[in-house]
Structure 1
Amino acid sequence: MDTKIHLEAGNLRETINEDNSASSQDWVKAMIFIHRHLDEGLKSEISSQLKLCGETITEEDMLEKTFSTFHASNVLLQQQYRERGFTEYNQLISVLLVAEQNNELLMKNH
């Protein structure tokens, strides 16, 4: 419920509806919020449930899905992150979260 309220406040609620028409940039913003606020146990439970449904989710799949959600205006960044050769999803997400925090700090200082 808290997540829905936060997404609604940020005009991102549509991103969690099936067959939505949200932009990839909005989807990424929503996923970053959800990722930050999900309990670690719940994160692994979601992956486990997908595996139980017959879908095997590999690190490569998660990395590719993350790269494919970069906004079209950030193609260069996408390529740079791909070239870093991440092999674990958690490594990439950690780097992206730090980059986001740095960007927020730069914007505040600007």
Structure 2
Amino acid sequence: MSDLLPDPETGIEVTPVQVAELLPAIQRGEIALIDCREDDEWRFNRIEGARFVPLSRFAEASPPEVPAIVYCHHGMRSLRATNYWRQRGVEAWSMSGGIDQWSAQIDPAVPVY
């Protein structure tokens, strides 16, 4: 596990602020940032550096080989996706509040819907 991420035993979520602090590790490929929203949402807005894996196709997608942070619109779908991967041995966390909170707290240039 990356030393930058919280212990998976202590929680399943990370905040947008924590994710922003992890952007250099995400850009280096040490942590995967996964957008689990659907195609129309992905086309509307996204966090730079994210990989698109819609929740509707999670079962057929190859999980990343590095720890992953999953986000959606408000954080509910990403919790389901994170639990799905964790049950399969993948180190994963959900970003609380989703891209909506990312826009409010980190990057207001990311449009909201």
- After TM superposition, the score normalised by the length of structure 2 is 0.28
| Higher relative helix content | 1
| Higher relative strand content | 2
Q: Which has the higher contact order (CA 8 A, sep 6+)?
A: 2
